[in-house]
Amino acid sequence: MTLVGQRSFNDLGIPLSEVPFCVLDLETTGVGPDICEITEIGAIRYEGGVETGRFQTLVNPQTGIPPQVTVITGITQAMVIDAPTIGEALPSFLEFLGDAVIVGHNVSFDISFLNAAAIRLGYGRLPNRSTDTLGLARRLVRQEVRNLRLSSLAAHFRSPTTPNHRALDDTIATAHIFWCLLERAGAIGVTHLDDLLNLPTIKGSRAIGKLTLTEHLPRKPGVYRFLDAGGHVLYIGKATNLRSRVRSYFSGDTRRRVDDMLRDTVSIEHQVTSSELEASIVELREIHEQRPIHNKRSKPPRSLHWVRLTEERHPRFQLVRTPGKGRLDIGPFRSRRAAEQVMFALWDGSQIRRCTSSGRGCAFAELGVAVCPCSGGVSDDEYAAIVDQVVAQIERDPLPIFTNIGERMAVFARHQRFEDAAAVRDRWDGLARALEQRRAWQCLQDAGRFVAVDADGLHVVVNRGRLESCWRSNATAPLPSDVRGPQRYPDTMAALDEAMVLWRWLTHAAVELLHISGTLALPPTPIPVLPSVS
């Protein structure tokens, strides 16, 4: 006999009316499955809310029953002499249990005994999901009852059977409590299995009271928005399963800002999309447009920074706030620090001058870390050749730049200057990311407008790094004709972020190009991988 496999993620979204439940209770010789044994099993199975069967048996523990246990349960040694052993009773019980969701009061105790027996007999751990009436009661009726014991809850919900520490009677009382709690849960929007399984982890009364705001959310990909009383957007997010993702804020997320957001939320809006890709793009655009106060990580910066190779007589790298006015620009960067990392990496990897004036006595040239015409050590033509070489390396083959950076990092490491080596490593990493993004942006600009389809049948139309449309169909699209003019550099972080989302989809999914108006190609030499500091 093999145990039924665990339900898939999609199965968790089935309505509670379709979920089979098995309410159970065990009596044992003690409190630990490693040293104690089962003496009685009681269970009731429900399909569609209707009782379909009962299971009850005493179990011979093949060991003595402590007197104090007999006093509590009334089960004596004589009562279990002729009862089946757990090895004889368990196969029948597992057959009865099937794929049902296990329900119990402090159910982890009962499951621990069943798992211990099942493992010992070669069946392995029970794969069934479970829900605990103790946890449900803690969230739903804690303020109404003196305590959460089975007997107290049975009295509170007027159970027709009083718990008496016998397995079947306690099971009947637990089932009555469970259905009463389920009715309460339904009033706050708990209608599916995943809702029920997550309910015990809901943070508190405020979160429980607002669960009804999620009732209308579908189990589809899309974008969601938390709104306050004035209709202002507090937070925008994306999800592959809108209902599941939004409800996770009420249970599994412990961040303080989430509590603050839930406190102010009075409604939740959503937009269904064709795919997670479209949801990602819609999320980015709306965050950049509306700047919600709780979108800390994705919120666009107040200002952007670029690293520019200037158009001066003797070009140099400098930090600027606007692109497109130099010989070559790299960016944008969200912060000045990120831009500085890249500029310092280019200094480490090349001999471009670092001084800011054309005066004499360049200290960097004297140290041998840069070439500067103002010191008289190199002619204008020689310096122009150095600049041309650096530009070509950035555009097509940056390996020499990274080789120089790596040598500098290795020198620091050999002299045990590990903090300096780590700083150079961070510059390498920053420059590599910046050049990867620059290549991807330029590649998408050169591609023009194209139609691509992935292995799941998602058709995507991209125009110069911007999503135009996407759909799921077997139909093909005509050759795109209207092409936006290429942008040499992304002028906003939103434009770069959207292009990078599309680029990741293109390079990590099994994508086939159907039509393209330009050329989609990268330089043949890859960006070098960051070495380790040793």
pLDDT for res 361: 54
Across the range 60-88, mean pLDDT stands at: 95
CA proximity to 241, closest of 460, 458, 13:
13
Res 266 pLDDT > 60: yes
DSSP letter string, 338-403? HHHHHHHHHHHHS-----SSS-S--HHHHHTSS--GGGTSS-HHHHHHHHHHHHHHHHT--HHHHH
- 292, 257 Cβ separation under 8 angstroms: no
The domain total for the chain is 4
Long-range contacts of 85-88 (CB under 8 A, 24+ apart): 85/59, 85/60, 86/37, 86/38, 86/59, 86/61, 86/117, 86/121, 87/121
Pull the structure tokens for residue 330.
């790299």
Last residue of a domain, one of 237, 261, 290: 290
Distance CA 313, CA 329 (A): 17
Across the range 355-373, mean pLDDT stands at: 69
CA atoms 51, 171, 190, 21: torsion sign: negative
Range of the domain at 218: 202-290
Q: Is the pTM of this model over 0.95?
A: no
Q: Is residue 378 part of a domain?
A: yes
CB proximity list for 385: less than 8 A, separation 6 or greater = none
Q: Are 320 and 388 contained in the same domain?
A: yes
pLDDT band at 99 (very low <50, low <70, confident <90, very high): very high
Partner residues linked to 512 by β-bridges: 453
CB proximity list for 256: less than 8 A, separation 6 or greater = none
pLDDT digits (tens, 9 = 90+) for 487-515: 888 888 999 999 999 999 999 878 999 99
CA atoms 198, 203, 208, 211: torsion sign: negative
Q: Is residue 533 part of a domain?
A: no
Pull the structure tokens for residue 347.
């200094």
Last residue of a domain, one of 418, 438, 458: 438
CA atoms 47, 51, 52, 53: torsion sign: positive
CA proximity to 132, closest of 179, 191, 178, 194:
178
Phi-psi category of residue 257: left, alpha or beta, with phi > 0 → left and psi -120 to 50 → alpha: alpha
Partner residues linked to 225 by β-bridges: 236, 269
Q: Are 227 and 184 contained in the same domain?
A: no
Q: Are 244 and 324 contained in the same domain?
A: no
Res 392 pLDDT > 60: yes
Type of residue found at 506: L
Across the range 49-66, mean pLDDT stands at: 96
How many residues are there in the chain? Answer: 534
pLDDT band at 301 (very low <50, low <70, confident <90, very high): confident
pLDDT for res 11: 53
Identify the active-site residue in 165, 176, 459, 508.
165
pLDDT digits (tens, 9 = 90+) for 109-148: 999 999 999 999 999 999 999 999 999 999 899 889 999 9
Catalytic residue list contains 305: no
Partner residues linked to 22 by β-bridges: 45, 102
Across the range 40-63, mean pLDDT stands at: 96
Distance CA 130, CA 196 (A): 10
Q: Are 172 and 244 contained in the same domain?
A: no
| Least confident interval from 36-50, 54-68, 519-533 | 519-533
Q: Is residue 2 part of a domain?
A: no
CB proximity list for 464: less than 8 A, separation 6 or greater = 444, 445, 447, 448, 449, 483, 484, 485, 486, 487
Q: Is residue 372 part of a domain?
A: yes
Q: Is residue 524 part of a domain?
A: no
pLDDT for res 249: 87
What is the separation, in whole angstroms, between the first and last Cα of the chain? 54
Q: Are 161 and 40 contained in the same domain?
A: yes
Q: Is residue 297 part of a domain?
A: no
Q: Is residue 526 part of a domain?
A: no
Q: Are 350 and 377 contained in the same domain?
A: yes
Q: Is residue 396 part of a domain?
A: yes
- 512, 476 Cβ separation under 8 angstroms: no
Q: Please tell me which of 360-364, 430-434, 526-530 the model is most confident about, judged by mean pLDDT.
A: 430-434
Distance CA 178, CA 306 (A): 61
Res 161 pLDDT > 60: yes
On average, the pLDDT of the chain sits at 89
Compute the CA torsion angle 234, 237, 241, 243 (nearest 10 deg). 0
DSSP letter string, 439-481? HHHHHHHHH-EEEEE-TT-EEEEEETTEEEEEEE-SPPPPPP-
CA proximity to 334, closest of 492, 192, 226:
492
Q: Are 181 and 90 contained in the same domain?
A: yes
pLDDT for res 358: 54
- The larger pLDDT score, comparing residue 69 to residue 485, is at 69
Res 360 pLDDT > 80: no
| Least confident interval from 208-212, 244-248, 426-430, 526-530 | 208-212
Q: Are 392 and 445 contained in the same domain?
A: no
pLDDT for res 7: 47
pLDDT for res 24: 97
- 170, 164 Cβ separation under 8 angstroms: yes
pLDDT band at 2 (very low <50, low <70, confident <90, very high): very low
pLDDT band at 91 (very low <50, low <70, confident <90, very high): very high
Distance CA 192, CA 244 (A): 10
pLDDT digits (tens, 9 = 90+) for 168-204: 999 999 999 999 999 999 888 888 898 899 888 876 6
Asked whether the bond before 332 is cis by omega within 30 degrees of 0, the reply is yes
Res 365 pLDDT > 90: no
Last residue of a domain, one of 401, 420, 438: 438
| Backbone torsions φ then ψ of 518, nearest 5 degrees | -125, -140
pLDDT for res 380: 87
Q: Are 376 and 486 contained in the same domain?
A: no
pLDDT band at 482 (very low <50, low <70, confident <90, very high): low
Q: Are 431 and 443 contained in the same domain?
A: no
Q: Please tell me which of 209-218, 370-379, 483-492 the model is most confident about, judged by mean pLDDT.
A: 209-218
Res 8 pLDDT > 60: no
CB proximity list for 16: less than 8 A, separation 6 or greater = 182, 186, 190, 191, 192, 193, 195, 196
**Domain containing 258 — which CATH number?**
3.40.1440.10
Res 474 pLDDT > 70: no
Q: Are 33 and 94 contained in the same domain?
A: yes
Specify the 3-state DSSP secondary structure of 170: helix
Q: Are 79 and 216 contained in the same domain?
A: no
Across the range 516-532, mean pLDDT stands at: 87
Res 5 pLDDT > 50: no
Angle at 217 between CA 213 and CA 218, to 5 degrees: 165
- 110, 43 Cβ separation under 8 angstroms: no
